[in-house]
């Protein structure tokens, strides 16, 4: 019988690992590597998770591909460079999953749907009750809840506490940024 993985973290990309691209270009997408800016502490947070034995999955909507703002080839280059920089900092991302579709495509992998989580699950069994999804939008909270994860909303991307009264769904926890979220998780689990 297959054992459940207990140390899994799901991360959104834009606004969690890298600066929200809305301030970078007119498209509001990272369209090339030169536009990718790691948020302060993000690489250190990923290293801490990796050092603590977590499998880290990045799941991100990238509708800019379907909209023609950038190509799959450009996304692959951005991802390869991101992973290389994280590895230089002695961190490790287990796998990265993207949905290149627009809302109107009604794709099952586009968050808040759970298709990207299901892709990450292939070949493994994850204990979602012990798993966190860290994102910067209420849509990330919706996606995490839909698959059964605990959710952490970080305030370094799209969302703000000023908008809290308009949130359709409340996250389980709110943290300043990825490093703050990771430090809290590791402390809670006795790893700091």
**122-141 residue pLDDT tens:** 867 788 889 999 999 999 99
**67-76, 94-103, 123-132, 145-154, range with the lowest pLDDT:** 123-132
Q: Angle at CA 43, nearest 5°, toward 42 and 46?
A: 90
**43-86 residue pLDDT tens:** 999 999 999 999 999 999 999 999 999 999 999 999 999 999 99
Phi, psi angle pair for 45, to nearest 5°: -65, -45
Could you confirm whether 51 is annotated as catalytic?
no
Whether residue 177 is contained in a domain is answered as yes
Residues 6+ apart with CB under 8 A from 86: 43, 46, 47, 92, 93
Catalytic residue (one of 12, 136, 180, 183): 12
Catalytic residue (one of 14, 136, 140, 180): 14
Parallel, antiparallel or unpaired: strands 150-154 and 55-61: unpaired
Phi, psi angle pair for 60, to nearest 5°: -150, 135
- Do the beta carbons of residue 165 and residue 186 sit within 8 Å? no
Overall number of domains in the chain: 1
Could you confirm whether 183 is annotated as catalytic?
no
Whether residue 47 is contained in a domain is answered as yes
Whether residue 1 is contained in a domain is answered as no
145 has a pLDDT exceeding 80: yes
Q: Please give the mean pLDDT across all residues of the chain.
A: 92
CB atoms within 10 A of CB 146: 15
CATH number reported for the structural domain that contains residue 28 in this entry: 3.40.50.1000
Domain that holds residue 172: 8-188
Whether residue 121 is contained in a domain is answered as yes
Whether residue 100 is contained in a domain is answered as yes
Whether residue 3 is contained in a domain is answered as no
């Amino acid at each position: 019988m297959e054992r459940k993985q207990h140390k899994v973290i799901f991360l959104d990309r834009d606004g969690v690992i890298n600066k929200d691209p809305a301030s970078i270009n007119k498209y509001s997408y990272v369209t090339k590597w030169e536009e990718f800016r790691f948020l302060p502490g993000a690489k250190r947070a990923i290293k801490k998770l990796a050092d603590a034995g977590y499998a880290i999955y990045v799941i991100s909507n990238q509708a800019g591909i379907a909209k023609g703002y950038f190509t799959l080839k450009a996304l692959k280059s951005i991802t390869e460079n991101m992973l290389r920089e994280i590895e230089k900092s002695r961190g490790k991302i287990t796998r990265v999953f993207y949905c290149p579709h627009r809302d109107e495509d009604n794709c099952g992998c586009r968050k808040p749907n759970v298709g990207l989580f299901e892709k990450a699950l292939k070949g493994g069994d994850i204990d979602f009750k012990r798993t966190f999804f860290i994102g910067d939008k209420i849509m990330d909270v919706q996606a995490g809840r839909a698959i059964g994860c605990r959710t952490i909303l970080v305030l370094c991307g799209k969302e703000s506490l000023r908008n809290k009264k308009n949130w359709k769904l409340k996250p389980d926890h709110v943290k300043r940024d990825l490093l703050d979220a990771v430090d809290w998780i590791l402390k809670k689990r006795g790893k700091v």
